[in-house]
Amino acid sequence: MRKTFARLDDALIERLFQPASDLITYRIGVNRTVTSCFCIDVACLAWIVSRVRELSDEVGAWRAGVAFLDLATLLLGLIALVSLRVLFRRAGGLQANPLRQTMQPYRGIVLLMLASGLVQLHTLTIASAADLAMLMCATLALYLGACTERPPLRRSWSPAVRASGRA
């Protein structure tokens, strides 16, 4: 099972997300670390939106135990997403990306959760749409974070070197 997913995972990275990451870097000038962190930030906002309705209903009904569990779930999700953001920031560099192999099980779990959320979606509410947005943004962040940086462009200061074609 893991080998089958590894082939799918590599295909998604190489054929979809690496070209998208290169395009974003080329067109906008934003590297994969910033793009991944932005996706995590959007996932955090979507997570808050998906949980706030239940939490406010529980607080309004004076159910302290259930409200505490809802608040704990909200905070645990935010801590997990912020930890992932910190990991993306630390893993930035010009060498081989260690997140490609180490984050493969997490990408599998998030893809499975996203597929499950889409299958179970019967009626679209704000909470379910925000849940799906959070899963989509987390998936984007995990895949964009697994891409490698493009090598830096070598620029020459001398006009003679540029004219000769050596860089």
Name the amino acid, one letter, at 129: A
Specify if 164 maps to a domain.
no
Specify if 59 maps to a domain.
yes
Q: What is the pLDDT of residues 55-76, one digit of tens each?
A: 888 888 888 888 888 888 889 9
Specify if 98 maps to a domain.
no
Task: Tell me the C-alpha distance between 111 and 44, whole Å.
Answer: 17
Specify if 153 maps to a domain.
no
Name the amino acid, one letter, at 132: L
- Which residue range forms the structural domain that includes residue 115? 2-91+104-148
Question: Which pLDDT belongs to residue 32?
Answer: 84
Query: How many folded domains does the chain comprise?
Result: 1
User: What is the per-residue DSSP string for 112-148?
Assistant: HHHHHHHHS--S--HHHHHHHHHHHHHHHHHHHHHSP
Specify if 159 maps to a domain.
no
Specify if 155 maps to a domain.
no
Q: Nearest-CA neighbor of 93 among 14, 150, 18, 165?
A: 150
What's the first-to-final CA gap in the chain, in angstroms? Answer: 46
Specify if 117 maps to a domain.
yes
Question: Which pLDDT belongs to residue 88?
Answer: 83
Name the amino acid, one letter, at 55: L
Specify if 70 maps to a domain.
yes
pLDDT along the chain (167 residues), means of 10: 84 90 87 89 93 82 83 90 88 69 88 90 86 93 84 56 51
